[in-house]
Amino acid sequence: MSNSRRGFFRELASAVASARDATAEPGPPPPPDLTDEEIARYSRQLVLPEWGAAAQLAVSEASVLVIGAGALGAPVALYLAGAGVGRIGILDDDAVELSNLHRQLLHFTPDIGAPKAESAAAKLRYLNPGIVVEPYQVRVEADNAAALLEGQDLVVDCSDSFATRYAVNAACCAARVPLVQAGVLGMSGLVMSVKPGRTACYRCAFPVEPQDAPRCADAGVLGPAAGVIGSLQALEALKLLTGVAPAIADGFLQVDLAAAEFLRVRVRRRGDCPDCGAL
C-alpha cells in the first residue's frame, strides 16, 4: 500500500475516533487506531466507500456468536474472521465426520473425529490471529440460550434444526440481540435478519414449527448451495454490525439455486407473536 493511501486511512481512523470522543459523555474508551498490519489486511474492504475506517472499527469491537460450525457456519465464520470481527464465538457439540467434508469447509480429512468447534477455531486463528476466537462445545437449548447470548452483539444461527432455530429466535428477541437466520437444503435456502422489537422475527415469518421436515442427511445438500446461503448470512451480519447497507429485515430472501432465482418475501411483525409481540 502506498504511503499516501496508508496516511489517508490513518487520518480517517483518527477522525472517527476524535468524533466519537467529542460526542461521548462518560462511556466506553475510544476505539484504537488501526495498525499498519490491520490497514494492509483489510485494505480491500477499507477502500470501499461504504465501508472505510468507521465500519472497520465497528466490526473490530463486535462480539458475534456463530451457532453451528457446519455447512453454513463455515463460510459465516471464515468471512467474519477475515473481515476482522473482534470476537467470534463458535458453538457446536458435534465431531467432524467424513460425510461433512464436501460442504463444511472449515474441516479437513485429518480433522475427522475432532470436535467441530475446536477444528473450526483452529482454522479461524490461522486465518486471522488478530481476533479472539472462542470455541464452545455445547448445544443450544431453550434453557441455556439466554446465558450463551450474554455479551453478544449479534447471533448468526447456522444450526440445522428447527427446534434450535426457534429457541435461538426466542432468546435473541428476549435479550434484544440482533440475529441472522438461515436454512439450506438441496439447492435452495433462505436468509432473514431480525432486529428484535423493530422488525419481524423468525416466528413472525414462520409461526408454527414444521414437524417431520426433511433433514440434510435424508434430502441431501450441495456444498456450493450451502456456500451461497452462508455467504449471504455473513454479508447480513456485516450489514447489521456496521449499517453499511440495509439488511434483509421485515422479510426473508428465498433462494432457489436450481432455477437461479432470488425472491424477497415481505413479512409483517405479528402483535400476537409469542417471541417479539410484547417488545
Residues lying near Zn ion in the complex (CB under 5 A): 201, 203-204, 273, 275-276
Residue 237 CB, nearest approach to Zn ion (Å): 20
Closest contact distance (angstroms) between CB of 198 and Zn ion is: 11
- From the CB of 106, what's the least distance to Zn ion, in Å? 31
Nearer of residues 201 and 253 to Zn ion, judged by Cβ: 201
Q: Is the Cβ–Cβ distance between 173 and 201 less than 8 Å? A: yes
Q: Report, in Å, the least distance between residue 275 CB and Zn ion.
A: 5
Residues 92 and 69: beta-carbon distance below 8 Å: yes
CA distance 126 to 205: 38
Nearest C-alpha neighbor of 125 from the set 88, 172, 159: 88
Comparing CB distances to Zn ion, the nearer of 139 and 269 is 269
The CA distance from 17 to 32, in Å, is 8
Q: For Zn ion, which is the closer residue by CB, 171 or 276?
A: 276
Whichever of 48 and 278 has its CB closer to Zn ion, that residue is: 278
Residue closer to Zn ion (CB basis): 156 or 273: 273
Q: How far is the CB of 279 from Zn ion (least distance, A)?
A: 8
**Strand arrangement, sheet containing 179-185:** 132-136, 87-91, 63-67, 154-157, 179-185, 188-194, 251-256, 261-266
CA 193/CA 68 separation, integer angstroms = 17
